[in-house]
Amino acid sequence: MLDPKEIELREAEQRRMEELAARQAAELAEKQERERRLAELREAEQRAAEEQARQAQQQPAQQAPGATTLHKPKTTAADKDKKAKKAAKTVTVWKEESAAAKKRGGLKTRGDSAGVSGWHGAKAGSRHSRGGEAQQQQFSAPAEPIVREVQVPETITVADLAHKMSVKA
């Protein structure tokens, strides 16, 4: 014998089970629909890729016969204009370079500081005219390090940077 409460509980349980079954069926149908759409998209992408491959194969056949030779291509008027523009570009010279070109030899400090400037001494004939002073070596205190601020642009070649950084000891 079943109470009315027990019957009510069983009916509620039955409704929940039916709702759960309906929800699961709806989710299954939705999942199958998503999978079908994905399959269609993949198939469409594959067809598009095959079409592009066919077009890419047809394009080289449509090119001019002279385009596939190993010889130098003929220059057109547009190419000549580009070369003229490239040659017309002006070369910018930095301010330090032009100033440094005027006063070369500032760093060469080897040997007698009062006598000959530069790495090499004077010619052999002039050595005899100085007398005993050329024979004697003088001690010169090491020069304090020279700090120079150099403006370096954002785009610079390695050779230019090395030239700016070079310091003779």
**First CA to last CA distance, the chain:** 113
CA distance 73 to 57: 23
- Spell out the residues 6+ positions from residue 138 whose beta carbon is closer than 8 angstroms to its own: 112, 113
Contact between residue 117 and residue 108 where contact means Cβ atoms under 8 Å apart: yes
pLDDT level of residue 152 (50, 70, 90 thresholds): confident
How large is the average pLDDT for residues 75-93? 65
How many Å apart are CA 121 and CA 108, to the nearest integer?
Answer: 12
Quick check: 106 pLDDT over 70? no
134 contacts 115 by C-beta, under 8 angstroms? yes
8 — pLDDT class (breaks 50, 70, 90): very high
pTM: 0.30
pLDDT of residue 24: 97
| pLDDT of 77 higher than 80 | no
Q: Are 118 and 105 in contact (CB under 8 A)?
A: yes
pLDDT tens for 120-150 read 565 666 555 555 555 566 777 777 877 777 7
One-letter amino acid at 94 equals: W
Every domain of the chain and the residues it spans: 4-54
Euclidean distance between CA atoms 127 and 133, whole angstroms = 9
